[in-house]
Structure 1
Amino acid sequence: MRLTPVFLLSAIDAAHFPGETKTFGAPEIAFLGRSNVGKSSLINALLGSKQAHTSSTPGRTRAINFFSLHEGAGDKRKVRPSLIFADLPGYGYAKISKAISSEWPKFIEPYLAERETLALSICLVDTNIPPQENDSQLIHYLQEMGKPYLVVGTKSDRLSGNVLAKSLAALKKKHEVDDILIVSAKTEAGTGALWQRIHAVAAESR
């Protein structure tokens, strides 16, 4: 069943995170990655909508944007959400990296470290570029905090065969992970497998 997305709010401070009255404690799935890695495009592909704003200008997302996902549609939509998606600000783009970095301790780190309803952090890495150090830093941060995470390789439609295999091997080695799920927001390849992972984690957290 496809879930109906509803935009909840944008938060630039921990005090602005949605509370129990808005989410009913639904499991939250966070999407993280470098600017222009394709977070918003992937979210839209998963939801089958244009809820998350995409831009060719890196660094446009400066807040955590929350979306509630409901069974049914229109008047038949259930009030209680099944899931919450959180689209986090990108990092690593030179022109805005300092500004983003200064904001992380204020509300992004508390979200990742302290949010009780956060069931899974999806770390997006670009399969079309060499492995990036700041992606490794994020993954290692989640490992040290003992937080559930999944590494997802984006833009896989641009590579094929041995080239994609070599990129995947390099990403696994650099980020010290055994599992990377390859997806494409353009062709929706891998999105079904990603949904399976999301639903499995959400079921365990309930």
Structure 2
Amino acid sequence: MRLSPVFLLSATNPSHFPTEAKTHNAPEVAFLGRSNVGKSSLINALLGSKEAHTSSTPGRTRAINFFALHEGSGNNKKARPTLIFADLPGYGYAKISKSISSEWPTFIEPYLAERDQLALAVCLVDTNIPPQPSDTQLIHYFQQMQRPYLVVGTKADRVSKNVLNKNMAALRKVHEIDDILPVSAKTNDGIPQLWQRLHALAE
């Protein structure tokens, strides 16, 4: 099933979140992770487009950007979207982490905790670096809130298979989770498997 993205809006306040009139109550998928984890690249790989802005400077995304995904060409914007993607600001980058973290309670935490349409949070972790405490904190947050989440390991093409397996085992152990889906926005590895999970939400 081909899905075409349409940019909806950028939100920096709960009052900006898309209304049911815009989304028709379609299930929303939130993408979040540390700055420079490859979030925008992954979203673009899923969409087959350049909808999400990528930057060499971590922390450029300072709002929640919403995209409506329609079947076919997506020309009929009034039709109910199949899914809504929510691209959230990154966290954990030393130079800007204080300014980013100060913004979280104002609109990001309300979105994650209270948004009825949020069907899945995709938590991105970097398979090339040791497990990060901020990632563990985020995963535990969703566990405590009993929100559905999926942990996805990015940049899986950058290391050998043996190193990847070792790194994935370390991530599972430290984050205390059983399931991590490794993906590569560059080679497309894992992208079809991730789409299977997302299509299940739409159905």
TM over 0.5: yes
**Could you tell me which residue of structure 1 aligns to residue 32 of structure 2?**
32
Counterpart amino acid of residue 135 in structure 2: D
- Deviations for 1:148-170, whole angstroms, at most 9, x for unmatched residues? 00000000000122101110000
SS state at 2:40 partner: helix
Gaps of 5+ in 1: none
Segments of 4+ moved more than 4 angstroms = 74-78
**Cα shift at 1:201:** 2.8
1:173 partnered with 2:173 = yes
Does the aligned pair in 2 maintain the 1:41–1:54 contact within 8 Å? yes
For 1:185-204, list aligned pairs within 5 A: 185-203=185-203
Q: CA deviation at 1:76?
A: 6.0
Q: Which residue in the other structure is 1:112 paired with?
A: 112
- Structure 2 length-normalised TM: 0.97
CA contact (8 A) 1:4 1:77 kept: no
3-state SS in 2 of match to 1:111: helix
Letter in 1 for 2:176: E
Amino acid at match of 1:152: V
Q: Using the alignment, how far apart are the partners of 2:54 and 2:32 within structure 1?
A: 14
| Structure 1 residues 21 and 155, CA gap change in structure 2 (3 angstroms) | same
CA distance in 2, matches of 1:125, 1:8: 26
Matched-pair identity in %: 76
Is the aligned partner of 1:61 residue 2:61? yes
Structure 2 residue aligned with 1:152: 152
Q: Give the match for residue 183 of structure 1.
A: 183
Cα RMSD (Å): 1.1
TM (norm. structure 1) is 0.96
Q: Which runs of 5+ in 2 are unaligned?
A: none
Return closer, same or farther for 1:75/1:136 CA change in 2, 3 Å cut-off: closer
Deviation digits for residues 20-69 of structure 1 (CA, Å, limit 9, x no counterpart):
01000000000010000011000000000000000000000000000000
Q: Which residue of 2 aligns with 1:90?
A: 90
Cα distance in 2 for partners of 1:63, 1:136 equals 23
Q: Aligned AA for 1:35? A: S
Alignment of 1:40-51 (within 5 A): 40-51=40-51
- Alpha-carbon offset, residue 72 of structure 1: 1.4
Shift of 1:202: 3.3
Distance (whole Å) between structure 2 residues aligned to residue 75 and residue 143 of structure 1: 38
Which residue type is aligned with residue 166 of structure 1? K
Matched residue type, 1:89:
P
CA contact (8 A) 2:3 2:74 kept: no
Q: Residues of 1 paired with 2:140 and 2:20: CA distance?
A: 30
Distance 2:159 2:94 in 1: 26
